[in-house]
Amino acid sequence: MKKNILFVCTGNSCRSVMAEGLFKQAVSDHANGFLVGSAGVSAMDGYPASVETIHVMKEHGIDMSNHRSRRVTAAMVRAADRILVMELMHKLMILEDWPEAAEKVHLLTEYAGNAKARGLEIEIPDPIRMSGSFYKNVFQLIRECVTRLAEEFGIEKKNDTD
């Protein structure tokens, strides 16, 4: 049975798009085992990812140019096995509407280094309207978290070319 993984940010144009693309890449050899998507708590449906997101992803061999934003829905929350959010605010907004999802909603940064072991609630900053280097830093943090998330599902880290 496929694991349904949903990444959530605010507008579904930057962070959750990066996480979706990176996780799909990480599990590409096991694609039949996963259904991976992204959404935003305040997203407007149908908009492309930010130009900067598309650029930083393309630099790492991931094409997100066909991505279109989606607002998180009850159906998405019900269907997801795990919902990974970028900020505590996202978690709280989801739980306000769907408290039954409490066991499956987590900050993505729970997978950053030993943050979980230390009980830290680290958020991934929103890069919208920030510099290219800020996007790259956000990308690196998301990549670290997504790699560890994939490892939790038994997926070994792929060799990176950069």
Q: Give the N- to C-terminal CA distance of the chain in Å, as an integer.
A: 34
Residue 71 designated active-site: no
The Cα 127–Cα 144 span in angstroms is 17
Catalytic: which of 71, 82, 126, 148? 126
How far CA 15 is from CA of 57, 138, 143, 159, in Å, comes to 11, 8, 11, 22
Residue 145 designated active-site: no
* Lookup: tokens for 162: 């950069």
SS3 of residue 6 by DSSP: strand
Residue 9 designated active-site: yes
Catalytic: which of 9, 14, 70, 145? 9
Catalytic: which of 14, 15, 143, 145? 15
Residues annotated as catalytic (active site), given as ranges? 9, 15, 126
